[in-house]
Amino acid sequence: MGRGWLLLMSSKASLKGLTIFSTGNEELDSRLGGGVPHPAFVIIEGENGTAKTTFAAQLALGALQAGFRVVFFTTESTVKQLLAQTRNVTIDLTKYYIKGQLVIYSSYLKSVTWSPEWVKESFNALLSFLAENRGGFQVAIIDSLTPLLEYLEPGDISRLIYIARLLAADGSSLIVTTHSGVIDEKIAKHLKAAADVYYQLSLASVGGKQVKVLKVVKARGVPDVVEGTVAFDVDPAFGIKIVPIVVAQA
């Protein structure tokens, strides 16, 4: 796959043949209208510390439990670190990785400074990989897209959206995570307009306790009523645990 593939991907996916797959967490499913639309382009945006990777891993677990093949690209950890991090919050992906149902690629290089040239080369390699192998997986996850965005232009995003639509046409979903407030506004609007599902994560204080807040900004194709805002915490013993408190909107 060349050195570092790297990320991105968006799509205004055709919702023909749309289904819903469970997140693998019943409480979360009940608030998301049953689960996650598929095939679809899903964006998870959030500040640092809002559990973007954990949430993406939860969606990966649900897809794996549904029998899907999943490919997970990470720019923020090694393969070993990702498996350990998710296992520590009871979202255990290890057995799926061992048997080959889950494939993980890491471009995490702690001591390397990413140059514009390296990012472009990696981004193009990633798009080629996704296009050429789209029949080999049903869900692709990129965590996180943020390191690439400062080097990419609107034309690159358009190519990403094109590839994502090819994936959707073949019945595959793309899930990407991004950090809040670091994306060029023009690129951010392009991505958001293309997304079928858009989740926004933030932090809030509820009853004196800091919790994560999931806001469902967009969810095309979800047949049931979706709660607009969901408060949750990440418990090492239970994973993602819904906080039974209504978070007031400003």
Residue position matching structure tokens 């919702």: 15
pLDDT of res. 222: 83
Lowest pLDDT segment from 125-139, 168-182, 197-211, 222-236: 222-236
pLDDT of res. 192: 86
Structural domains of the chain, ranges and CATH numbers in brackets = 19-242 (3.40.50.300)
Using the predicted structure, report yes or no on whether residue 7 has a pLDDT greater than 60: no
pLDDT of res. 202: 95
The helix (run of H) or strand (run of E) holding residue 41 is strand 41-46
Using the predicted structure, report yes or no on whether residue 5 has a pLDDT greater than 50: no
Half-sphere exposure of 34 (CA within 13 A, CB side): 12
Q: What CA–CA distance (Å, rounded) separates 136 from 143?
A: 20
Given a contact cutoff of 8 angstroms between Cβ atoms, the answer to whether 86 and 93 are in contact is: yes
pLDDT digits (tens, 9 = 90+) for 18-33: 899 999 999 999 999 9
Highest mean pLDDT among 37-46, 187-196, 228-237: 37-46
Given a contact cutoff of 8 angstroms between Cβ atoms, the answer to whether 40 and 220 are in contact is: yes
Q: What CA–CA distance (Å, rounded) separates 60 from 69?
A: 9
> What is the DSSP secondary structure assignment for residue 113, as one 8-state letter?
P
pLDDT digits (tens, 9 = 90+) for 81-112: 999 999 999 999 999 999 999 999 998 766 56
| Average pLDDT across the chain, whole number | 85
Residue type, 91: I
Residues near 221 by beta carbon (within 8 Å), at least 6 away in sequence:
15, 18, 20, 37, 40, 196
